[in-house]
Amino acid sequence: MYKPSTIYADLFKDVQLSEIFSDSKTFVDAIPKYDCEKINQDYQVQSAEPDFDLLHFVTDNFQLPHYHEVESPSNNSLESVRSEIENLWQQLSRGNNTRDDKTCSDKKIDAQSSLISLPKPFIVPGGRFKEIYYWDSYFTMLGLIESGKLSMVESMIENFAYLIDHVGHIPNGNRSYYATRSQLPLFALMVELFAEQQQDEAIYTRYLPQLEKEYAFWMAGAESLLNHGDSEKRVIKYQDTFLNRYWDESCAPRDESYLEDIRLANECDCQASDLFRNLRAACESGWDFSSRWLSDYTSLHSINTTQIIPIDLNVVMFKLESVLAKSYTLEDNHSAADRISQQAKRRKTLIQELFFSEEQESFVDLTLNDFSQSPVLSIATSVPLFFKVATDNQAEAVAKTIREKLLKLGGWVTTEQVTGQQWDSPNGWAPMQWFTYQGLRNYGFNDDAVEGALRWVKNNVDTYHTTGKFWEKYNVESVGCSGSGGEYSVQEGFGWTNGVLLKFMNELDVGDYN
């Protein structure tokens, strides 16, 4: 597997630490124009010359990615929002084989890309994200279905099945440097969505082998855990059952954020390998970064992701176990169905008993090693409602907390904390708007659900009319501007924003805002 940090070694470090690019993702996404051995040899010779220009060398030897390819409509105030989303599906689509940057016809050179080739078409998020992303794709699929693009949904599910079979799990995205981690495991939810759309339960058994492999990946090491509180990779032993956390197989700086990680390590009085793994684990969560993962709740220097037992991950694992049980039942494998159903039942009980805070009236994360409750209130409290894991009383309390503390002028805010991280206040994100809306509806809080969704729609549309673009995140403390914070500038596109917006507009019968 082509991995720039390994293949180029000295060149990689020199480029990433030199700041010749404003985004550390640029070089690892670049495509070599020549064989990598030749590039390395040339670098060793040329870099020793007194007038050597690193940027000139890189541009001579690599095709650099173009991250801002989404075209704005010529007159967005007159453009129908729905028709613009349809236009964006075309701009964000990629063919099979994933190579939209054609630099040469040499097959040996063409294979030298950090992209993991996929067999079928798919939708990318947009901006700097020119590959498929795991949990993003479920929310993108919601909009694709609204657009009648069910074949694209099937293609994307097929790609994820392919990744499970060939990588062993679904990586964060189809890049070699993402292969040591996954993301929130929504493959089961995608299978369920597709089966419901097709009205065909055979789809569950069609993807059963991949569902089993996905579960095995997340539960790897469970058999070695003997005592309460023991942990191994993504699994934690709790009495006679298991819970899950985020992890990464690597404890090195992230290839795509190498400079940022090295800088942070130099500022920290901590073990660098622990810091790097915790940063990577937070990326596996999709919430990179958030006060949820910070031991002091404010500073990235205190990131401690692997010591957090996340509420949303464990609820999604319950869903995966439930879909597995259904798939086994459809195959008449009742012993397997009973076994996984028992694990799901135990997990559901723990979610209701351990993760719900009576004091905060919300679901919260737990911390190792004492399984104490985190004080951080986040919109992840809505995820147990989305998957119907909460009791009625718990749902009522959560709805009240969301209404009083997390509902803002432009939608539901991610957390109450202001840290400068992108998964904290004042930002709101499309996936959590959908989880919250549907979660509230599941328990009959329809007015709350509609109110929050309409505020989000207005925020998206007003910002579109102001900027001519849809964004990955939005400021929900005010209306009409994109979100901010984090390691990179706010990105345009944007797959899951478009998907959730279109789903909301159709479900709530919102006009086109011409």
Active site residue: 321, 361, 472, 492, which one? Answer: 472
Q: Tokens 């459809």 label which residue? A: 330
Helix (H) / strand (E) element for 50: namely none
Which of 84, 64, 58 has the alpha carbon at shortest distance from 73? 84
Cα 19 from Cα 335, distance rounded (Å): 57
d(CA 405, CA 383) in angstroms, rounded, equals: 16
DSSP assignment of 352-389: HHHSEETTTTEE--EETTTTEEP---BGGGGHHHHTT-
Residue among 122, 126, 391, 423 at smallest CA distance from 297: 423
E-assigned strands of 26-166? 31-32, 62-63, 93-94, 122-123
Between vectors from CA 264 to CA 258 and to CA 267, what angle results, nearest 5°? 145
**Ordered DSSP codes for 416-480:** S--SS-TTSTTEEEHHHHHHHHHHHHHTT-HHHHHHHHHHHHHHHHHHHHHHSS-BSEEESSSSS
Known catalytic membership, residue 274: no
Euclidean distance between CA atoms 512 and 124, whole angstroms: 24
Q: What is the CA radius of gyration of the chain?
A: 23
Torsion of CA 223, 279, 21, 493, to 10 degrees: 80
Q: Which of 237, 209, 151, 220 is nearest to 182 (CA)?
A: 220
Q: Taking CA 74 as the corner, what is the angle to CA 466 and CA 26, rounded to the nearest 5 degrees?
A: 75
Nearest to 135 by CA among 43, 246, 37: 246
Residues 6+ apart with CB under 8 A from 262: 17, 253
Query: For residues 133 and 283, is the Cβ–Cβ distance under 8 A?
Result: no
Assign residue 371 a region: left if phi > 0, alpha if psi is -120 to 50, beta otherwise? Answer: left
User: How many CB atoms lie under 10 A from the CB of residue 372?
Assistant: 12
d(CA 425, CA 483): 9
Annotated catalytic residue, options 131, 255, 284, 288: 288
Q: Is the peptide bond before 426 cis (omega within 30 degrees of 0)?
A: yes
Q: Is 288 annotated in the active site?
A: yes
Helices and strands, number each (H, E), in the chain: 21, 16
Structure tokens at 386: 């989305």
CA distances from 119 to 139, 148, 310, 421 (A): 21, 22, 33, 35
- Which residues are annotated as catalytic? 288, 472
